[in-house]
């Protein structure tokens, strides 16, 4: 049985700036989709393709904390460098993904990679926030660097395209990321008239973002930059590309726990939020210049 589509949201409103390096459209929770409705996903910011131009000033987001959830940064065009207070650093190039588990708390900064910044060019990224269940909100902070070369891959029949399996399982191809709750995250790249069919657990909250192109999904047209939210019924998803297209498909088992958030902290109770703020202010998240 096909999954029914609950709603298709076109690109929401005007973009906002995160720091001075990320020009984003907010789909979760900004497109009238609550955090509980799309649990375990808390946030989706989409930096649609935009040329910031060459600059000797390194644009980005300065040091900021996270606690109680995970951030997932997916690079389509341009390169992002990052550092954190656990001593990790790296560069996320096109096709790469950084999956950071903030857990008990971490300081982080991310910015345009220096060579890319000086040269300029198209910049296109997605960042997701993925919630952690209560039992895992205090795990030691860590991250997974998922390279394009090491990504799980499914080559589609008849030259239809390729699926980079970031997390979960796509038709038998397993993703690279380790997750705390069941999550599927697929970077789908379809050629014109390319088609695919896959099944997603009916109990998962499921959605997709048309990063580029235009598609027909379960019989409905989704134009470029549309966000498609599926009902929690049926399992089958069929996608056909009207033109060369890139699609991000996400699904996850809902975390049936209270969500209390304050900026970069996501916990289960207000008391835990107060404790997170106290921990941050007292330096327990470490130091990052």
Distance CA 189, CA 74 (A): 14
CB 207 within 8 A of CB 227: yes
- Asked if residue 108 belongs to a known ligand binding site, the reply is yes
Q: Is 56 helix (H, G, I), strand (E, B) or coil?
A: coil
Beta bridge partners of 187: 164, 248
Q: Do you find a cis peptide bond into 153, omega within 30 degrees of 0?
A: no
Place of tokens 């080559």: 155
What is the distance between the alpha carbons of residues 108 and 87, in angstroms, rounded to a whole number? 10
Q: Is 110 annotated as a binding residue?
A: yes
**In sequence order, what are the residues at sequence separation of 6 or more whose Cβ sits closer than 8 angstroms to the Cβ of residue 145?**
90, 92, 96, 98
SS3 content of the chain, % helix, strand, coil (to 5): 10, 50, 40
238 is in an annotated binding site: no
CA torsion, ordered 132, 4, 188, 51, to nearest 10 deg: -80
DSSP helix/strand/coil, 181: coil
Q: Was 82 annotated as part of a binding site? A: no
Which residues belong to the annotated binding site for Fe cation? 64, 66, 108, 110
Which residues belong to the annotated binding site? 64, 66, 108, 110
């Amino acid at each position: 049985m096909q999954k029914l589509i609950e709603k298709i949201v076109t690109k929401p409103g005007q973009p906002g700036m995160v720091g001075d390096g990320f020009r984003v459209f907010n789909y979760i929770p900004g497109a009238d989709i609550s955090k509980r409705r799309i649990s375990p996903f808390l946030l989706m910011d989409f930096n649609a393709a935009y040329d910031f131009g060459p600059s000797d000033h390194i644009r980005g987001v300065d040091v900021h904390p996270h606690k109680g959830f995970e951030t997932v940064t997916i690079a389509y065009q341009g390169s992002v460098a990052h550092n954190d207070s656990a001593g990790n650093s790296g560069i996320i190039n096109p096709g790469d993904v950084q999956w950071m588990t903030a857990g008990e708390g971490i300081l982080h900064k991310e910015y345009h990679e220096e060579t890319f910044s000086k040269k300029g060019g198209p910049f296109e990224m997605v960042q997701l926030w993925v919630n952690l269940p209560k039992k895992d909100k205090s795990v030691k902070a860590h991250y997974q660097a998922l390279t394009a070369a090491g990504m799980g891959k499914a080559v589609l029949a008849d030259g239809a395209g390729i699926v980079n399996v970031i997390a979960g399982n796509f038709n038998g191809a397993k993703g690279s990321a380790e997750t705390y709750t069941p999550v599927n995250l697929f970077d789908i790249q379809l050629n014109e008239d390319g088609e695919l069919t896959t099944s997603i657990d009916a109990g998962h909250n499921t959605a997709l973002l048309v990063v580029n192109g235009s598609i027909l999904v379960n019989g409905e047209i989704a134009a470029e930059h549309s966000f498609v939210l599926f009902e929690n019924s049926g399992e089958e998803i069929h996608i056909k590309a009207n033109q060369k297209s890139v699609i991000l498909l996400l699904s996850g088992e809902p975390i049936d726990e209270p969500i209390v958030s304050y900026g970069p902290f996501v916990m289960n109770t207000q008391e835990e939020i107060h404790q997170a703020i106290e921990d941050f202010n007292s330096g327990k998240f470490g130091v990052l210049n």
